[in-house]
Amino acid sequence: MLKVGLTGGIGAGKSEVSRLFVSYGAVLIDADKIAREVVEPGTPGLAAVVEAFGPEILTADGTLDRPGLGAIVFADPDRLAELNAIVHPLVGARSAELEAAAGEDAVVIHDVPLLTENRLAPLYDLVVVVDASEETQLERLVRLRGMTESDARARMAAQATREERRAVADLVIDNDGSLEALEPQVRKAWEALTDRASR
């Protein structure tokens, strides 16, 4: 099994790269998706979050009020650390289960948005970074996600710099261009990963 960490700044196009890897045969483990699953209604994760933050962080239908919780934790580093202490171990355990089920000859892609920020590179055999210029990221966030420019800049500023991400990369996929320009690069990266996995 080859364990690959995939990361990139917001708006760099990491989702598109992971989609292509899956189409070639990779097993994808998406940390953000798992983080949502472990706090769904009825889970021990949601119960622990409610115990820590109070029932007011639930919506009327009993699901987690993500914007409401975000407003609390992003304004207070201690509360964010408290939330992470609940959610991160659950995400780690679920990721390990999915990885164990993948098979010994699999290429397992861990999609981890904050891989660089949380110094997680040593957990993987290789790190792939999807890289795009700040201008490209900004344009995509405003045009495709409907963010205001100031909101997009704030989100970008809260993440690692391009230089910090590139410093932990074993492979860099440049995604400043079109989808047509991206696909051959991802295929080449996939060939390198499968070659490494077979050794």
Question: What contacts 17, CB < 8 A, 6 or more positions away?
Answer: 6, 8, 128, 130, 173, 175, 182, 186
**110 and 168 in one domain?**
yes
**83 and 152 in one domain?**
no
**120 and 86 in one domain?**
no
Which tens digits make up the pLDDT trace of 104-130? 889 999 999 889 998 999 999 999 999
Which tens digits make up the pLDDT trace of 49-103? 999 999 999 999 999 999 889 888 877 889 988 998 999 899 989 999 999 999 8
Residue 94: domain span:
33-103
**198 and 110 in one domain?**
yes
Contact between 46 and 52 (Cβ < 8 Å)? no
Domain final position from 55, 81, 103: 103
**95 and 114 in one domain?**
no
Q: For the whole model, what pTM was predicted?
A: 0.85
How far is Cα 58 from Cα 49, in angstroms, rounded to an integer?
A: 10
Q: How far is CA 156 from CA 24, 67, 132, in A?
A: 30, 18, 12
Domain final position from 79, 103, 127: 103
Q: What is the pLDDT of residue 154?
A: 83
**195 and 117 in one domain?**
yes
- Region 173-198: mean pLDDT is 94
With a cut of 90, say whether residue 199 has pLDDT above it: no
**111 and 19 in one domain?**
yes
**162 and 82 in one domain?**
no
Contact between 4 and 124 (Cβ < 8 Å)? yes
Mean pLDDT of the chain: 93
How far is Cα 197 from Cα 199, in angstroms, rounded to an integer?
A: 5
Contact between 33 and 178 (Cβ < 8 Å)? no
- Region 23-47: mean pLDDT is 96
Domain final position from 103, 138, 153: 103
With a cut of 80, say whether residue 42 has pLDDT above it: yes
Least confident of 9-18, 19-28, 66-75, 90-99: 66-75
Tell me how many domains the chain contains: 2
Q: What is the pLDDT of residue 155?
A: 83
**37 and 21 in one domain?**
no
How far is Cα 24 from Cα 32, in angstroms, rounded to an integer?
A: 22
- For residue 197, what is the domain's CATH number? 3.40.50.300
Query: Which residues is 4 bridged to in the sheet?
Result: 109, 126
